[in-house]
Chains A and B, each alone.
Chain A
Amino acid sequence: MAGTAVRGRLTWQVATVDAVCDETPSVRTIVLSVPGWAGHAAGQHLDVQVTAEDGYSAQRSYSIASAPGEPLTITVERLEDGEVSPYLTDELRARDEIEIRGPIGGYFVWAGDDAATPLLLVAGGSGVVPFRSILRHRHNLGSKVPIRVLYSARSLPDVIYRAELDHADEGVTVTYTLTRQQPPGWTGHAGRVDRHLLAEVAWPADTDPLTFVCGPTPFVEAVASSLVDLGYPGGRIRTERYGGTEEP
């Protein structure tokens, strides 16, 4: 659990939108141009601030979707009652400006420097976003680290980055499970990630994998508990939980 170096002050920076790309009907990828961006590690996130004409501003955190060294990219899911995400997914256009600050977080990251450790990446919904950064980082490094991805989505059209995930590099295995709706003839997994599915898809615990779990809080709770039940040491499971207001 070595900490990263203590950073200087995180200041708000102006980011210009270079491109937007709709991933699904409710999810958009936004490529940003940020002069002076200090760089990031795979798995980190940033804060976005949008300010209305009346001066009211709101901030939210989003995982970074691009690998270190690539143009800074975030992928945002529209939350119907959200203060920030509907603007980012529906209104934002190329050449618009938003304010960002980051990168943030130093624990839910993969540096790519340990070739001996297989990775398990378990995503629920838009929890797949930081894993795009990790997978692209592996590709860019020419790393041979074996990676298994287990991605839970509501339906096939809700799968984010499907084209990219379906053409993953050698050594990367992507398994989908569709929780709400499966297309006719679907032979893949259906239903939520549970201990049974993890036992089938995840690395055996004795291979000492490093695991990242990202998604809504109940998803992460269920997956992490199941992995502990399967013998994964808690210290080797890193979690990132999404979710707004909740019970403490």
Chain B
Amino acid sequence: MLSAGPTPHTPLQEWTFSIRQAGSDRKSWTWPELTALPAEDVTADIHCVTRWSKLDTRWRAVSIDTLLAQVDTEARFVLAFCDGGYTTNVPLADLTAGRAWVAYEYDGRPLAPEHGGPARLLVPHLYFWKSAKWVRGLELLAADQPGFWERYGYHNYGDPWREQRYAGD
């Protein structure tokens, strides 16, 4: 629901997912390449900062572990970047160990553009604005860098169990 602009519609033949560091691609997947990677059926509860939760949502998704396995990095932080210019920051440790995915199906169907399709980040243990819609890649960073909503006063980490909505919560 938290979206700052129009819903982007990037054609799948132009779509890529990239892992970047220092401004250049370390690894990049086209749509057929990404969707050919081993995928998981993920069932998770999600929590929006605007105070709704949805239990047992079902996704088809590629684990971030699968993607990062193809890149050596010392980075500790990630800035996810998206169509439309949106970004969000997450510690790298929160994206690994089976806790985060790139999701492209919701409830057995292709993820609709207004819900973040063709693919969105899925980080269910953080507030849902961290599960960036229209994700196009991850920038690996040595130092943390606030993303879009984080620069506008949303909490830097966003743990729903500690109700970390706004800076200082």
Task: List residues of chain A with CB under 8 Å of any chain B CB.
Answer: 1, 3-4, 6-10, 59-61, 101, 104-108, 217, 221, 224-225, 227-228, 234-235, 237-239, 241, 243-248
What 0/1 pattern do residues 146 to 169 of B give for CB contact below 8 A with A?
101001110000000000001111
- A239 CA to B166 CA in the complex, in Å? 20
Question: Which chain B residues lie closer than 8 Å to A245 at the CB level?
Answer: 52, 54
Contact of B85 among A1, A4, A227 (CB under 8 A): A1
Chain B residue with minimal CB distance to A2? B151
Chain A residue with minimal CB distance to B46? A248
CB-CB under 8 A for A225 and B6, given A4-B152, A106-B152: yes
CB <8 Å contact, A224 and B5: yes
CB <8 Å contact, B167 and A7: yes
Question: Which chain B residues lie closer than 8 Å to A243 at the CB level?
Answer: 1
CB <8 Å contact, B151 and A248: no
CB distance from A124 to the nearest CB of B (A): 15
CB <8 Å contact, B153 and A1: no
Task: List residues of chain B with CB under 8 Å of any chain A CB.
Answer: 1-8, 46, 50-52, 54, 57, 84-85, 106, 114-116, 128, 131, 146, 148, 151-153, 166-169
Interchain residue pairs A-B with the least CB separation, the first 5: A9-B168, A3-B151, A224-B6, A106-B152, A245-B52
Chain B residue with minimal CB distance to A243? B1
* Chief secondary structure at chain B's binding surface: loop
Question: Which chain A residues lie closer than 8 Å to B152 at the CB level?
Answer: 3-4, 105-107
CB <8 Å contact, B167 and A1: no
CB <8 Å contact, B115 and A60: no
CB <8 Å contact, B57 and A10: no
Contact of B128 among A9, A235, A248 (CB under 8 A): A248
CB <8 Å contact, B50 and A217: no
Chain B residue with minimal CB distance to A109? B152
CB distance from A148 to the nearest CB of B (A): 18
Question: Which chain A residues lie closer than 8 Å to B168 at the CB level?
Answer: 7-10
CB <8 Å contact, B146 and A10: no
CB distance from B165 to the nearest CB of A (A): 8
Question: Which chain A residues lie closer than 8 Å to B6 at the CB level?
Answer: 224-225, 227-228, 234, 237, 239
Contact of A248 among B84, B85, B115, B166 (CB under 8 A): B115
Question: Which chain A residues lie closer than 8 Å to B116 at the CB level?
Answer: 248
- A239 CA to B3 CA in the complex, in Å? 7
CB distance from A150 to the nearest CB of B (A): 16
Question: Which chain A residues lie closer than 8 Å to B167 at the CB level?
Answer: 6-10
CB <8 Å contact, B148 and A1: yes
Question: Which chain A residues lie closer than 8 Å to B131 at the CB level?
Answer: 248
17 other contacts beyond A248-B115, A248-B116, with CB at 8 A cut-off? A7-B167, A10-B153, A10-B167, A60-B51, A105-B153, A217-B1, A224-B5, A225-B6, A234-B84, A239-B5, A239-B6, A241-B3, A246-B1, A247-B115, A248-B57, A248-B106, A248-B131
Contact of B7 among A61, A225, A247 (CB under 8 A): A225
Chain B residue with minimal CB distance to A84? B51
Chain B residue with minimal CB distance to A4? B152
- A136 CA to B12 CA in the complex, in Å? 44
CB distance from B108 to the nearest CB of A (A): 13
CB <8 Å contact, B115 and A4: no
Question: Which chain A residues lie closer than 8 Å to B54 at the CB level?
Answer: 245, 247-248
CB <8 Å contact, A235 and B5: yes
- A105 CA to B49 CA in the complex, in Å? 13
Chain A residue with minimal CB distance to B153? A7
CB <8 Å contact, B52 and A239: no
- A106 CA to B149 CA in the complex, in Å? 9
CB distance from B134 to the nearest CB of A (A): 11
